[in-house]
Amino acid sequence: MTRYQPVDPKVDFPAMERAVIDFWRERGVFAESLRLRQDAPLWVFYEGPPTANGLPGIHHVEARTFKDVFPRYKTMTGHFVPRKAGWDCHGLPVEVEVEKEIGTKNKRDIEAFGIAEFVERCRASVTRYVSEWERLTERIGLWLDMDQAYWTMNADYVQSVWWALKQLHEQDLLFQDDKVTAYCPRCGTGLSDHEVAQGYEQDLDPSAFVRFPVLSSNVDGLDGAALVAWTTTPWTLISNLGLAVAANEAYVRLRVGDEVLVVADALRGSVAEDASTEQLGPSFPGSAMVGTRYEAPFDNVEEGTTHRVVAAAFVSMEDGTGIVHMAPAFGAEDLAVGRREGWPVFNPVDDTGRFTDLAPEYVRGVFVKDADDAILEDLRARGRLLRAERVEHPYPHCWRCKTPLLYYARPAWYVRTTARKQDLLAANETVNWFPDHIKHGRFGDWLANNIDWSLSRDRYWGTPL
């Protein structure tokens, strides 16, 4: 008689896996592990909730395996570790999935379909794959309290969100403002900084150098010259209200052929391949050009304090010409300078990203990025385009529908996260990061450079704000 049972060298791992799962289920091993430790030191785990309107993928298995390590370890070191599952029910992922089903292309289509019916479709979509997620959870050996899961669409959870907003309001951390924010013209909503970071793709866009003829200036020899600015968004030139220079950088007048062009000395090569193009007179600081008036590229904005040169700290000598075209409706830095200078916010673009009647007739109704070539051709015909080519560069797209994002000045609600930046950085120092370079690298840099959190979503399925 042998002491041990024979071991089959051909192990059936799937059968072994099912046997272990059956053993855990039949004996309630997870529930028993919690019962035995009810009086032990508490270590809380809430699952960062997946969205259950789609089937789980291999990346979910990987992420959940990492998550499971820590509750198990804490359980084995004598802690009571309740592990609450959750479901993320709101947001663009759910809405975009439903839009695919009903064939809508934008918010107007949704409104024609019926908002109430659309919301009910979203609610049904959220629960569609819950059973598949629960099956996966058990199959990979992840212990979670699925019976007491939290759902972000349930009234008690929504109430907690409003409670949190109330706390932010009472601490003067919640405010409404017109800020330039990343906006998806297809989804019809602004996106947070975190969402924008998820959607960068390589785009081939125009790289245009545009002439801005000088009308009057305090700098000798500038009358009759043209300031040159560079842009990769020609469509924003329709909203041009000013040009920005670096106050302490040197600028020069260059004779290129039969014209005189003005650029930063450090970037003189941007206007001619021959960097030794004849310089006229000595260089002068950018501050000397402040107040210089120039001819607007388009005549759809009333003259006043606009269409003149201002100084701005963000002007870089890394690329371009050292002269920056400014459209306050479409750039955060532009908007800040525009407010300082008393400029209007001129926005000739509607909420679908198409030009309105405030724009030149030939681009009305055209999606802005599709209008670039027509705008450049118009500038070329009027002698305002110095040079245009194509450049490949990373450009933000909607992380859900892949539409190119636009930057709009729009009213929205924000959390004043910048007011708590030092608190956030201090809290980060208490986190034990793996790998450790994340602490002062990707995550630390994000905290150090965080901007106020845009909460508003101009959509239908979610907590309204």
pLDDT for residue 289 is more than 80 = yes
Statement: residue 10 has pLDDT above 90? no
- At residue 279 the predicted structure's pLDDT band, cuts being 50, 70 and 90, is confident
Residue 465: is its pLDDT beyond 70? no
Report the range out of 4-8, 94-98, 313-317 with the highest average pLDDT: 313-317
For residue 15, pLDDT beyond 80: yes
Percent of the chain with pLDDT over 90: 66
Token output for 134: 């629960």
> Which range, 13-22, 196-205, 243-252, is most confident?
243-252
pLDDT at residue number 2: 67
Tell me what the mean pLDDT of segment 43-52 comes to. 88
- Identity at 442, one-letter amino acid code: R
How many whole angstroms separate alpha carbon 369 and alpha carbon 367? 6
Q: Which amino acid is at 69?
A: V
Mean pLDDT of 155-177: 94
Query: Is residue 325 within 8 Å of 234, Cβ to Cβ?
Result: no
Per-residue pLDDT at 409: 85
For 421, residues 6+ apart whose C-beta sits below 8 A from its C-beta are 447, 448, 450
What is the mean predicted confidence (pLDDT) over 177-188?
Answer: 88
Count other Cβ atoms within 10 Å, centred on residue 244. Answer: 23
More confident residue, 262 or 401: 262
Mean pLDDT over all residues of the chain? 91
Q: Encode pLDDT of 328-378 as tens digits.
A: 999 989 999 999 999 999 999 998 999 999 999 999 999 999 999 999 999
pLDDT, position 464: 64
Average pLDDT over residues 141-165: 92
pLDDT at residue 323 above 90? yes
Supply the pLDDT for residue 77: 95
Q: Is the pLDDT assigned to residue 273 strictly greater than 70?
A: no
Min mean pLDDT across 17-31, 214-228, 275-289, 409-423 is at 275-289
Residue 463 clears pLDDT 80, i.e. is over it: no
Over residues 291-319, mean pLDDT: 90
Q: What integer is the mean pLDDT of 412-419?
A: 92
Which tokens in the block code for residue 310? 């201002």
Question: DSSP assignment of 203-272, as one string?
Answer: EEEEEEEEEEEEEE-SSTT-TT-EEEEEES-GGGGGG--EEEE-TTSEEEEEEETTEEEEEEGGGGGGS-
> What is the CATH number that goes with domain 13-153?
3.40.50.620
CATH number attached to the domain at 201-395: 3.90.740.10
Overall average pLDDT of the 87-111 stretch: 89
Is the model's pLDDT at 82 over the cut of 90? yes
Given a cut of 60, whether residue 430 has pLDDT beyond it is: yes
Region 391-418 average pLDDT: 89
Torsion of CA 362, 368, 371, 377, to 10 degrees: 90
Summarize the confidence of residues 414-427 as an average pLDDT: 95
Indicate if the pLDDT at residue 1 is higher than 60.
no
Mean pLDDT of 38-48: 94
Q: For the chain, which residues make up each domain, given as ranges?
A: 13-153, 166-199+402-454, 201-395
The predicted-structure confidence for 253-267, as pLDDT tens digits, reads as follows: 999 888 999 999 999
pLDDT at residue 211 is higher than 80: yes
Token digits of residue 15: 């059968």
Pair 346, 299: CB distance under 8 Å: no
DSSP 29-63: HHHHHHHTTTTSPB--EE--PPPTTS---HHHHHH
pLDDT value at residue 298: 94
Distance CA 161, CA 439 (A): 28
The reported pLDDT for the residue numbered 196 is 87
The answer to whether the CB of 242 falls within 8 A of the CB of 326 is yes
Report the predicted TM-score, pTM, of the whole model to 2 decimal places: 0.75
- Per the model's pLDDT, the better-predicted residue between 410 and 436 turns out to be 436
127 has a pLDDT exceeding 80: yes
